[in-house]
C-alpha cells in the first residue's frame, strides 16, 4: 500500500523526519500540525487579532513547529534518527525555547508559569535522555509516562492568564518531554 511506503528524506530535513519516513507519517505530521494550529488560531482569535501581524505570523510558525514535532517525534523515522545520533538529541533538547518565544510574542504578564513549565520540560527531557543510556534503560518509558502525567498536572495548576498559551505549553511539554525523549521503537 502506498501509504506505508517509506521515502528517503533529504539531508537537510533529517533532524525533522529522520532518514526515511512513511508517506502516512508525513501526511499525519502535516495534517495534525495544520489542523491543530488552525483550531488554536480559531479559539484564540480574540487574542491573535490584538497582536501585530508580524507577531501573529511568527507565533503561528512556532506553534506549527511544536504541533508538527509532537507527531514527528512519535514516528519510526524520527525516533530511529535520534537513537542513532545522540549528539543531535542533546542539541534538539537545548534549542527548544519555543514557549519562551511564544510568551514573549504574546506579551504575557505572568512569565513565571512559562519559565517553570519550560524548565520542567528541559529537565524531564534531559533526565529521560540520560536514562536511555544507563542501567535503567528498561524503565525509561515508565518514568517518562510518570513525568508526563506529573508535568501536565503542574502546567494545569499554574496561574495562567492566557488559555491559548497554556494549551501551547502543554503541547510543547508533550512534544519534548515525552514524544521526543522516549525511544518508542526497539
For the chain, the structural domain boundaries read 2-180
The predicted model scores a pTM of: 0.94
Give dist(CA 172, CA 70) in Å, integer. Answer: 7
**DSSP letters for 48-76:** HTTS-HHHHHHHHHHHHHHHHHHHHTTSH
pLDDT of residue 113: 94
Residues 46-99: pLDDT tens digits? 889 999 999 999 999 999 999 999 999 999 999 999 999 999 999 999 999 999
Average pLDDT of the residues in 41-49: 92
Amino acid at each position: 500500500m502506498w501509504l506505508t511506503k517509506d521515502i528517503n528524506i533529504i539531508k537537510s530535513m533529517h533532524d525533522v523526519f529522520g532518514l526515511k519516513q512513511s508517506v502516512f507519517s508525513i501526511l499525519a505530521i502535516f495534517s495534525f500540525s495544520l489542523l491543530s494550529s488552525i483550531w488554536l488560531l480559531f479559539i484564540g482569535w480574540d487574542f491573535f487579532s490584538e497582536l501585530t501581524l508580524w507577531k501573529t505570523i511568527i507565533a503561528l510558525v512556532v506553534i506549527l513547529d511544536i504541533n508538527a514535532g509532537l507527531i514527528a517525534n512519535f514516528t519510526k523515522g524520527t525516533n530511529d534518527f535520534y537513537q542513532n545520533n545522540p549528539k543531535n538529541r542533546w542539541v534538539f533538547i537545548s534549542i527548544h525555547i519555543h514557549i519562551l518565544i511564544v510568551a514573549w510574542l504574546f506579551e504575557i504578564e505572568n512569565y513565571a508559569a512559562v519559565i517553570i513549565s519550560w524548565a520542567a520540560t528541559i529537565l524531564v527531557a534531559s533526565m529521560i535522555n540520560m536514562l536511555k543510556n544507563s542501567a535503567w534503560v528498561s524503565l525509561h518509558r515508565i518514568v517518562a509516562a510518570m513525568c508526563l502525567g506529573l508535568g501536565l498536572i503542574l502546567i494545569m495548576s499554574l496561574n495562567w492568564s492566557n488559555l491559548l498559551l497554556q494549551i501551547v505549553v502543554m503541547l510543547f511539554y508533550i512534544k519534548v518531554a515525552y514524544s521526543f525523549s522516549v525511544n518508542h521503537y526497539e
